[in-house]
Structure 1
Amino acid sequence: MREHGSGGALQRELEHRIRNGRCVYCRAPAAPDRPLTREHVIPQARGGRRRDARIIVPACADCNQRRGCQEIVLFLLARPGRILAFLEYLSTLDQNTVRQIDVRVFAEVYAAMLLLAESSAGDQPWRTQLDRLCAGRRLHRRRYAARRIVTAAAVRLERTRDRTVPEAPSCLLPAAMESGDGLHAATIARGMAALIGTLALVWEAPAERVLQELERERRRAHRTGAGREDAAADEEANESKVVSLDGWKRRRGRRRRLRVDPRGGRTGRRGAA
């Protein structure tokens, strides 16, 4: 994928939003005596760089402190309304600015949308299903699966770029995420439409093409995950539909051999009692 500038426009826009904008999570406005803070979507403790404007968004001090180093996906899902607020912020950026956002940011929001849809589709309370879908390393596999899907779709669209972008990109939602009677149906529909529309501006492609490529990569990841040979991973995949998004394979590590102490477990210098 090609680079979109050095990030100067994004940095200037970020500084403006910190003084005059709203929190990316709760929409709280900035005050003259209390500006917003710099919130790292990818925290420094998890690989984010301190001055990388591509992963920084404006947030109030309360939300910034409340999240800490928590995974952004979990923080968004704690209150699904945060997903719409986050996408609303991205949609207010102009095209040249939003194209400088790190692709990992869009992937994290995409993962949150997928998890929200899956957890709301079952018979059990969605919070209970969400906890099961995010238990152990499952959340990380879903996050990295979403990252691969978004990155692969971006590369594919880059190769066949269409310069004509609709002024108001339309969005046909995938069948699994259309509005229905679910608890978060409206949030899912609005969120996916906003995400697809924003990616259409970022990738300079019609929204229908963006959706088509995302769905293509999602089905491809599903087939890859279904063909895993690791029995333990297959058993875990049967517990959740979202796991099928990931082609991750559990690596079989070497077993650590237990060392037997010929001195009967005694420690200390040789010859010591």
Structure 2
Amino acid sequence: KTRLHWMVILLISLILIFSTVSCSNKNEQTTPNEELKTGTEEPNQQTETFQDQGIYTGQIDNNSVEIRTKNEIMALQLTDEVRQVIETLVENDEVTFEYEKNKVGQLILTKLEKINSYKTSQRKLPKEKDIEIFVEGTKELRKAYLNESTLGYSIYVQPQFTFSGEEPGKDILFWNNDGNYYIRIEKLPDDVNIEDMRKNAALELQTIGKVYERNVEEIFDPFFRTAKFFLTSSTSQLTQNIMLIEIDGTLFKFKFNFPNGEAAEGVTPSLWAMLKTIDVNQ
């Protein structure tokens, strides 16, 4: 009887031990699931920042400004970080900038910097002047504004056109109403090989059609008759020219892209005239 009594006690003890272990395992299995549930959170959404460059055209009001890029005219809301920079700018300054879009689609200007490396005051040139334009044999005077290139020269630009940096070592001057009317301006190093430049220019124009080299003495404006060469290629829709010319002791490459439309008669004389105002910083 005593032996039976102890066997019953032992059996009950074993049952209790197994029950405790089983409960413990269940608790351990549920803990990771609970941690997974509490650890699942939505990632923080960061505001996207955009970068661009263009021409500062002025303030719209006390809280916003207008910047004209190659593709559009942008209205941007000011932040405290850029207000001091705005006070140092004048109309037609070239700038780089960063902006964000808020929830209602407004563009918020977060960073602004003038990229002209040469100040107008250092050049002692007037901020604006009238330049001569010859349209269908008639001379006209049209107002143009001083623009400074980061490549070390200045040029006067009419309000209907935009001048800005485009690629490393190159600028572009284009008509605001149709950007296909443009001149790409490249300031060249002193040791450039003229013959190599002529060959490369011919290859560049071959994508349009047959390439012709014009006699520079026959160029309509005497200013450009000092060109090292003047190559041209055209179709019924488009004319492209490449000129190499020395201005103020510095070689420049001009690539002209002119659609053969009605607008050409009024636009191209202005583009030619603005090139004549190039002044190299000494």
Q: TM-score, normalised by structure 2?
A: 0.23
Larger Rg: 2
Higher percent of residues as strand: 2
